[in-house]
Amino acid sequence: MTVAELAAPAGTGEFGHLDEQSKREIRNALLTAVAVPGYQVPFASREMPVARGWGSGGLQVTLAVIGPQDTIKVIDQGDDAGVNAANLRRLIVASTGVPDTTDARAASIIQTRHRIPEDPLAPGQILVLQVPVPEPLRGVERDMRELRRMHAEADYSKIWVSLYEDLVRNGVITQSTGYPVLVGGRYVMATTPIPRWDVPRLHQAGFLSLFGAGREKRVYAVPPHTSVEPLAFEDVPFQVERTEGASCLLCGAAEAYLVEVPARHGWICSDTDWCWRRREAADG
Amino acid sequence: MGYAAARGGLDAILAAEELMRAKRDGGTSPPLEISQLTERLNLAVDRVMGEAGLWAPDLAARALRQAEGDIIEAAHLLRAYRSTRPRLAAGPVTHADEIEVLRRIVPAYRVPPGPQLLGRTLDYVGRLLDDGTPSGPAHRPAAAGGNGQVSHPDHPATADTGGQAEDPARRRPGRLLDLLRGQGMIRDRRRDDDPEPHDVTREPVRPGVPRSARLSVMARAETGALVNLWYRNILGPDGYIHEITLGEVRHGRLPVRVTHPVTGQPVRLGSVRVTEVEAIEDLDGPDEDRGVFDVGYGLCLGHNERKAIAMANLDIAVERDGGQSGLEQSVLMTTDGLDASGFLEHLKLPHYVTFRSMVDRKAAIRAAAEQQAPQQQAAGVTR
């Protein structure tokens, strides 16, 4: 180790931007998270070249687990070309030199904000989700000490009551994204804000999901083959987003997560690469 | 499409970066030198170092220049830079009694033990917008004696001794607190089982952490956040804390040492400037010993009295609150400038996936209401 090395400009030294000690510490937290599915593991959370709330947690998780043999895909809202996805991708690629792809099937690590790709993911793939608010119970309890107790004792009565009250007041459960789930029959977990459409796809999945909340300094995980059950009543089933008659203006898909395009009075797929491949296949 | 489409966002980012660079580095005036920032905008540089939690004046000045004067943005640059550096050593604890003061005031007594040393402050300078005439060395009257001007407190050669020999003990005055302790007037909360300070950059904080964690969080907190939290508690919406009496307000140099890897002896590497405040609190709670005072503590990097005073107030307020209200959680979790600003600004990111999901629920609520209405009509239900 030389003084010149130590004084080197930022971002040009280590593989994966962070120093090795930091990456090891994050991996240690991730191992705990995998061992205790759905449990929020505190970690030190470094300041990253992106701001808090802009994927700093997901970025730390990706950089801690990535190796030279990996291929990375980064999406925001399902879109590879989104500005935040583009920014995170260039940081990851620039600091690791790994190849990037837009094809979810070809990526070994997929970092995402708000979506799970429409393609079924395979065992061995890692999904890294950026998490703004890791605490699923914050809406019903503000005190952090009480929240710890509730998770420790699996005392989830307050959130059940809130779901019941919601139903009675509004006729439906109004929680839109980030729907609370019970993981492995033990911990209630926040599903980042992925839409309800994506929630069932975490259940008994073959892939590993790692959740990184940089600002709140927590990581958590859903290991492969783990039950992920949305909190719902037996006689009021969990509902995903669906609009009668809607289909993608570009590829025609109806069974995909669609986002509205008011200017064109229609809908398009949020997963842009999946949509593009469907069109390519249709064109022959 | 595919990969090519993913270029769209990147091209837009590169164009935005170019717009930032062109405006910052363009114009007709000469580029800003680092020394201009450290000498002429030293309070801004201090604030960046304080909120970044890293003493590095030249790097902080570079960050401030790159961030076009945005303090939080500059603190972010500095902290993100720090994330790439390995931690090489931890220094032994330095007692704050070793501060060599550049300024020291004791509002609680007219004539305290040790000097009232006004030092460099704007406190009693009229807030009159000057006419822009430079007041450099050539324009300045002959060096003021005693506690006169300091052009840059990191350069001892120009420190505020006015070129006169001075009693070194004057720069290391005793504390008012020691006098009050001697009189048995202070609730003694010193402990000899004090563990190593909680490192908030290595272990995340949550309510119930030791006091050292609370102090570390506040030392790195955003100045405005601490001031606001203090003021909310003075005016009442969040609770009520006293206007305390300041026992010490100090700005000075604190030596930094590391343990020599071979000899095992502490070696002085240099010093950092810090602002230190002791806040004397009049205990008046029903369960408190009203015969004594208690004390809150504030210390931050650089010259930032506003921050250190708010910190000392909030330290004792959290202590007295004892977890009864959400004050501790507010102090620990809501005062970091990078956390709050980053999360606020993330609202600018696309949110159309989540918004579509919300629209879906609105439609579901309205459909449920419509379904309900004919049934209620049929049953003769009225509101």
Instruction: Classify residue B149: in a domain, yes or no.
Output: no
In chain A, which among 57-96 make CB contacts under 8 A with chain B? Answer: 76-87, 89-90
A248 is catalytic: yes
Residue among B7, B353, B369 minimizing CB distance to A114: B353
Residue B150 lies in a domain: no
How far is the alpha carbon of A206 from chain B, nearest alpha carbon, in Å?
24
Compare CB distances from A195 to B85, B86, B353 and report the shortest one's residue: B353
Residue B314 has pLDDT above 80, yes or no: yes
Looking at the fold, whether B179 and B254 belong to one and the same domain comes out as yes
The residues pairing with B245 across neighbouring beta strands, listed in sequence order, are: B280
Both A277 and A190 in one domain: the answer is: no
Per-residue pLDDT at B382 exceeds 70: no
Give the number of domains in chain A.
Answer: 2
A20 touches chain B (CB under 8 A): yes
* Residue pointed to by tokens 């790709």: A117
Is the separation of the CB atoms in B84 and A18 below 8 Å? yes
H or E element at residue B34: helix B34-40
Determine, yes or no, domain membership for B139: no
Q: Is residue A181 part of a domain?
A: yes
- The residue behind tokens 């020291």 is B104
With respect to residue A172, please indicate whether it lies within any of the assigned structural domains: no
| Nearest to B207, CA basis, from B312, B311, B313, B332 | B332
CB pairs under 8 A between A and B: 191
Identify the band that residue B90 occupies on the pLDDT scale cut at 50, 70 and 90. confident
Instruction: Indicate whether B140 pLDDT > 70.
Output: no
**DSSP 8-state assignment for residue B32:** P
In a shared domain, residues B221 and B335: yes
Q: Is B126 inside any structural domain? A: no
The confidence score (pLDDT) of residue B242 equals 80
Please report the DSSP string for A58-121 in residue order. Answer: HHHHHHHH--TT--EEEEETTBTTSHHHHHHHHHHHHHH---B-S-TTT-SEEEEES---SSPP
Residue A148 covered by a domain = no
- A111 in the same domain as A88: yes
Quick one: pLDDT band at residue B381, thresholds 50, 70, 90? low
Asked if the structure places residue B325 within a domain, the reply is yes
What is the C-alpha to C-alpha distance for residues A4 and A19, in angstroms, rounded to an integer?
Answer: 16
Whether residues B77 and B205 share a domain: the answer is: no
- Residue B381: helix, strand or coil by DSSP? coil
Joined together, the tokens standing for residue A189 give 């977990």
What is the structure's pLDDT at A1?
58
Round to whole Å and give the CA distance between A64 and A34.
Answer: 15
- The verdict on A40 and A129 lying in the same domain is yes
Residue A190 and residue A114 share a domain: yes
- The verdict on A197 and A271 lying in the same domain is no
Q: Same structural domain for residues A202 and A256?
A: no
Residue type, B355: F
Q: Which tokens hold the place of A125? A: 């793939």
pLDDT digits (tens, 9 = 90+) for B234-256: 887 777 788 889 999 999 999 99
Distance CA A146, CA A159 (A): 13
Chain A residues within 8 A of B8 when measuring between CB atoms: 81, 86
The residues that bridge with B100 in the sheet, in sequence order, are: B253
* Inter-chain CB proximity B2 and A87 less than 8 Å: no
B282 and B361 together in one domain: no
Provide DSSP, B235-258. Answer: HSTT-----PEEEEEEEEEEEEEE
- Tell me which chain A residues have a C-beta less than 8 angstroms from the C-beta of B338: 47, 51-52
Nearest CA in chain B to A174: B361
**Residue B289 sits in the same domain as residue B368:** no
Q: Which of A13, A125, A27 is nearest to A72 (CA)?
A: A125
Give kind and range of the element (H or E) at residue A144.
helix A144-152
- Cα dihedral angle (B35, B38, B41, B47), rounded to 10 degrees? 150
A171 in contact with chain B, both atoms CB, cutoff 8 A:
yes
Mean pLDDT of chain A: 94
Same domain, A248 and A117: no
User: Which of A86-95, A261-270, B140-149, B319-328 has the weakest average pLDDT?
Assistant: B140-149
Question: How would residue B136 be classed by pLDDT, with cut points 50, 70 and 90?
Answer: low
State whether the Cα torsion B88-B89-B94-B96 is positive or negative: positive
Q: Give the domain CATH number at A26.
A: 3.40.50.11310
Residue A263 pLDDT more than 90?
yes
Average of per-residue pLDDT across B295-305: 97
Looking at the fold, whether B106 and B67 belong to one and the same domain comes out as no
pLDDT in tens, A47-83: 999 999 999 999 999 999 999 999 999 999 999 999 9
The Cα-based distances of B141 to A137, B30, B135, B325, B374 in angstroms read 65, 29, 9, 54, 89
| A239 Cα to chain B: minimum distance (Å) | 10
Which A positions 205-224 lie with beta carbon below 8 A of chain B? 215, 217-218
DSSP A14-36: STTSS-HHHHHHHHHHHHHHHHS
B133–chain A nearest CA distance, Å: 38
CB A150 within 8 A of CB A156: yes
Helix (H, G, I), strand (E, B) or coil at A148: helix
Nearest to A60, CA basis, from A29, A104, A101: A29
Let me know whether A67 and A112 are in one domain: yes
Whether residue B65 is predicted with pLDDT greater than 70 in this model: the reply is: yes
Q: Which residues of A touch B354 (CB under 8 A)?
A: 114, 176-177, 193, 195
Cα separation values, B275 from A124, B109, B119, B321, B377, Å: 53, 20, 13, 25, 71
- Quick check: is A260 in a domain? yes
Closest alpha carbon to B72 in B43, B95, B51? B51
> Which residue's entry shows tokens 């022959």?
A284
Residue A246 contacts B, CB cutoff 8 Å: no
CA-CA distance, A151 to A155, in Å (whole number)? Answer: 6
Same-domain status, A282 and A197: no
Same domain, B295 and B359: no
Task: In whole angstroms, give the CA distance from residue A237 to residue A231.
Answer: 9
Residue B8: alpha-carbon gap to chain centroid: 39
Q: Does a structural domain hold residue B142?
A: no
Give me the half-sphere count of Cα atoms (radius 13 Å) on the Cβ side of residue A89. Answer: 29
Residue B57 included in any domain:
yes
Tokens of B127: 């807030």
Chain B CB contacts of A44 under 8 Å are 201-204
On whether any CB of chain B is under 8 Å from the CB of A136, the answer is: no
Residue A159: CB partners within 8 Å, gap ≥ 6? A136, A137, A139, A140, A180, A188, A231
Contact A51 B346 (CB under 8 A): yes
> Contacts of residue A263 in chain B, CB cutoff 8 Å?
none
Interface test with A, best of B78, B82, B83, B203 (most A CBs within 10 A): B83
Active site residue A171: no
Q: How far lies A194's CA from each of A115, B95, B185, B310, in Å?
A: 5, 50, 58, 40
Q: Which of A28, A47, A173, A257 to mutate to test the interface with B (most CBs of B within 10 A)?
A: A47
Please give the model's pTM, rounded to 2 decimal places: 0.90
3-state DSSP assignment of residue A41: strand
Among left, alpha and beta (phi > 0; psi -120 to 50; other), residue B302 is: left
CA-angle at A242, arms to A213 and A102, nearest 5°: 50
Selected residue with higher pLDDT from B191 and B156:
B191
Does residue A223 belong to any structural domain of this protein? Answer: yes
Say if A169 falls within a structural domain.
no
Same domain for B215 and B324: yes
Are B102 and B148 spatial neighbours (Cβ–Cβ below 8 Å)? Answer: no
Q: Which residue in chain A is spatially nearest to B15 when comparing CA positions?
A: A83
**Lateral strand order in the sheet of A126-130:** A41-42, A218-222, A208-213, A126-130, A109-113, A72-76
Provide the residue range defining the domain that includes B333. 96-120+157-341
Residue A187's φ and ψ, nearest 5 degrees, are -105, 135
Q: Would you place residue B161 in the very low, low, confident or very high pLDDT band (cuts 50, 70, 90)?
A: very low
- Encoded tokens for B322: 């004892």
Q: Are residues A46 and A137 in the same domain?
A: yes
Angle, nearest 10°, between helix axes B71-83 and B337-345?
110
Residues 6+ apart with CB under 8 A from A24: A64
B27 has pLDDT over 60: yes
Domain that holds residue A49: 8-141+177-230
Which residues on B lie below 8 Å from A47 (Cβ)? 76, 79-80, 82-83, 338
Enumerate the H helices of B277-350 as residue ranges.
305-321, 327-334, 337-345
Closest CA to A161 of A185, A126, A137, A130: A137
Residues in chain A within 8 Å Cβ distance of B356: 195, 241, 258-260, 270
**Chain B residue closest to A82 (CA)?**
B9
- The answer to whether residues A125 and A249 belong to one domain is no
Active site residue A275: yes
In a domain, A170, yes or no: no
A19, A44, A218: residue with CB nearest B86: A19
Minimal-distance CA residue of chain A relative to B86? A19
pLDDT over 50 at B383, yes or no:
no
For range B215-227, the mean pLDDT: 97
Q: How confident is the model at residue B150 (pLDDT cuts 50, 70, 90)?
A: very low
Q: In chain B, which residues have their Cβ closer than 8 Å to the Cβ of A85?
A: 6, 9
Q: The tokens of B40 are what?
A: 């002429």
With respect to residue A211, please indicate whether it lies within any of the assigned structural domains. yes
pLDDT winner (highest mean) among A251-255, B2-6, B26-30: A251-255
Do B213 and B332 touch, CB atoms closer than 8 A?
yes
Q: What is the pLDDT of residue B138?
A: 58
Clarify whether residues A254 and A225 are in a common domain.
no
Residue B91: inside a domain: no
Domain count along chain B:
3
